[in-house]
Amino acid sequence: AQCPSDDMDSFQDVSRHKYFNTNNLWLNLPALKAMLQAKDNILGLPMIRNSKTVDPRDSGSTPVYQLETAMGSAIGIFQGAGAIRVPRTRFAPVKTTEDLLAIRSDAYILTDDYRIVGNPERTLEQIVISLDKAYYKLIDDMEARFPHGAPSLIDCERLAITGDVTFGPDVVLSGAVQIINESDEQRQVEAGAVIEAEKVL
């Protein structure tokens, strides 16, 4: 939200920016208390303006600005603050329905100590998922199209879905998969289907 639109390509260039914010903060509470007391309880973090709609489920509802601050930017006001480098295996963000679908699939497992980690049986890099925003952006819309849970993605490197598609149980997706429904009607991937490439419904 703080990145100018002209710089977005550079901002998302992982060869230039190799580290990501895990949104995990470790605070020294006495230091925070001292800082708040010194600043009259105002840290003075930069303001972020996000364009939203009053009802996030209705893109036609009244447009508004959401004003917020990013706690991560506080690293700049604490003397001696630093970053801790953690491996990608400790970072499983869920900010979109694409992230949620991946986490719910067999590409990840829940450990005995309740950590979500990549499935050790998966031999591929992080899965890349692209879901049609018109049908999958909101969680209830996504769940309605995967009523039996996520398909098997353990051997899937990429998944792109275009159009309104629902999934039956026990679907297996492998390799680079693209599923396309160009019609105005909802189409279904049948139960037990195995898809390894492009599938037009």
DSSP string, 86-143: --GGG-----SHHHHHHHHSTTEEE-TTS-EEE-TT--SS--EEEE-HHHHSSHHHHH
Burial of 105 (0-12, 13-18, 19+ CB in 10 A): buried
Task: Dump strand ranges (E) for the chain.
Answer: 47-53, 63-69, 108-110, 116-118, 128-131, 152-162, 165-167, 172-180, 187-189, 194-195, 198-200
Query: Which entry of 18, 33, 52, 95 is annotated as an active-site residue?
Result: 95
199 is catalytic: no
Looking only at the bridges linking them, the beta strands covering 128-131 and 165-167 are unpaired
Catalytic residues: 95
